[in-house]
Amino acid sequence: MTGTQAMADTSRLRHGVFHSVSMLTAMFAVMVMPIGGCSKSTRVTRVDTNLVTDLSGRWNDTDSQEVAKTMVKEALSFPWLDTYTRANGRPPVVVVGTILNRSHEHINTQTFVTDLQRELTNSQKVSFVAGKGEREEIRDERREQAVHAREETQKSAGKEVGADYIMKGNISTILDEADGIKAVFYQVDLELVDLESNVKTWYGQKKIKKVVERKRMLF
């Protein structure tokens, strides 16, 4: 091997080593060093309350409102309402009972009950009376009035309007999940029961199906 060849080989080796070191270093630095300017900051945006916000796939305010609206509308479109109104000369009185949570999520059923109450009240087709918990509070208030309020302003006991029907039901879920794809199937069952005869006057069902997909790898 001549001196020139040896020098050329050394140069190539040096170049090769430099190249590999540069590559490795660059790769290491890009992957390891935190990228500047990626810092998160809180941003608050006001949105329309009717805007559908499906963030996690869980039961949310949109589901609660939509189900309540659809199911009350459906319940009031059935013949039992006209039949009762004609027979008694007044709209029926309805109370909302217990909505059981039989799902995989900690659902605040009270919000759903409130949505049902609102839809029933605003329909103007039925009279609506306070539920069990609220009644206790109102009775306490009347008892307080009997002691502390002026006589002409006191509200007397025994004049409550009894409900003709109770609306009750449950929310249940079926889950299926594999490879980052989760299917959540919500089923809301509601029924209207005649408080005198225990006859189930109406039975409604609303189903919601959501598919949540997650990517396994991102850059």
Partner 1 sequence: MRVALCLIVLFGTAACSRTVNRYALIEDSLMAGNTQRADQIVEQAEPDYGAESHVLYLMDRGMTLHLTGRYQASTDMLDQAEQEIERLYTRHLRTEAKAFLINDSKLTYEGDPYEQTMINVIKGLNYAVQGNWNEAVVEARRIDHRLNVLGDRVNPKDGYRDDAFARYLSGLFFEIAGDLNNAFIAYRKAYEAYQQARPWARTPVPPSIRTDLLRMSQALHLDQEHEQYRREFGELVWQPYSDTHDLAQVIVVTYNGRAPRKEDRLIDLPVSLDALKLVLLTKLPPRAQSQERRALESVLYGLNGHVVRVAIPVLVPQKTDVLYAEVTAADGAHSVQARTQLVQNFTAVAEKTLADRLPGISVKAVARAAVKYGLADGVRHGARAAGGKDKEARLIGFIVGSLAHALAIASEEADKRSWRTLPDEIQIARLWLPPGSYELRTHSVDHNGRRIGHDSGYAVTLHGGETKLMTERVIP
**Which parts of this chain interact with partner 1 (CB under 8 A)?**
13-14, 17-18, 20-22, 24-26, 28-29, 31-33, 56, 100-101, 103-106, 173, 175, 177-178, 180, 214-219
State the nearest-atom distance from the C-beta of 20 to partner 1, in Å.
5
- Report yes or no: 117 and 126 within 8 Å, Cβ to Cβ: no
CB closer to partner 1, 26 vs 149: 26
State the nearest-atom distance from the C-beta of 178 to partner 1, in Å.
6
Alpha carbon distances (Å) from 172 to 75, 113, 175, 177, 209:
20, 15, 10, 17, 12
CB closer to partner 1, 27 vs 146: 27
CB closer to partner 1, 17 vs 157: 17
State the nearest-atom distance from the C-beta of 102 to partner 1, in Å.
8
Beta bridge partners, 96, equal 167
State the nearest-atom distance from the C-beta of 148 to partner 1, in Å.
34
Tracing tokens 């009762």 back to the chain, one arrives at 84
Please name the residue ranges forming H helices in 33-95: 61-76, 80-88
* Residue closest to 85 by CA, chosen among 119, 130, 123, 118: 123
Residue type, 95: V
State the nearest-atom distance from the C-beta of 59 to partner 1, in Å.
12
